[in-house]
Amino acid sequence: MLFKKLGKLITPVLALAIMLGIGGCEGEVSVTTADFSEAKMALGVDADNRPVNPTTVFAVDTPEIFCSAKLSNAPADTEITSSWVYVSGEADLTDYEIDSYTLTADGTRYVEFSLSVPDTGWPRGNYQLVLSINGKENETLEFTVE
């Protein structure tokens, strides 16, 4: 009888330990309070990195494409990665990572990401900007170039 009661208690505790990554496995689970909100693609950003002229459609000759996002509750040494992806369109590429950049940030503030036009202009098509926090995808913004 005692073992049945212990079994009912141990099973949920063991399941929780496995979900939290403390069950003795090699991999680590990164838990963070950091989060993105108010993420927008834009033609520019202001001095506080807030979006200026938000849009999801850009011209082939747009000099630079921006993203502004509010980072909240980021502990010290939070790693933020932006990954610019050409999804599909006139170029003979699919899901091609154009560029990726990682920075370290903390606190609550607006952060800015940007990518300059290639020498030959932006290929027409569909794009994504994937924002990750400590290696975990947090936000994906879609935009097009026409």
In terms of Cβ atoms closer than 10 Å to its own Cβ (0-12, 13-18, 19+), residue 134 is middle
Q: How confident is the model at residue 31 (pLDDT cuts 50, 70, 90)?
A: low
How confident is the model at residue 14, as a pLDDT? 37
- Residue spans per domain, the chain: 1-31, 32-145
Q: How far is CA 4 from CA 7, 10, 12, 14, in A?
A: 5, 10, 13, 15
**Helix or strand (DSSP H, E) at 137:** strand 136-145
> What is the CATH code of the structural domain delimited by 32-145?
2.60.40.1490
Is pLDDT of 20 > 90?
no
Question: How confident is the model over 7-30, as a mean pLDDT?
Answer: 43
107 or 29: which leads in pLDDT? 107
Q: How confident is the model at residue 32 (pLDDT cuts 50, 70, 90)?
A: confident
End-to-end alpha carbon distance in the chain? 71
Question: What pLDDT, in 10s, does the model give residues 62-116?
Answer: 999 999 999 999 999 999 999 999 999 998 899 999 999 999 999 999 999 999 9
How confident is the model at residue 84, as a pLDDT? 98
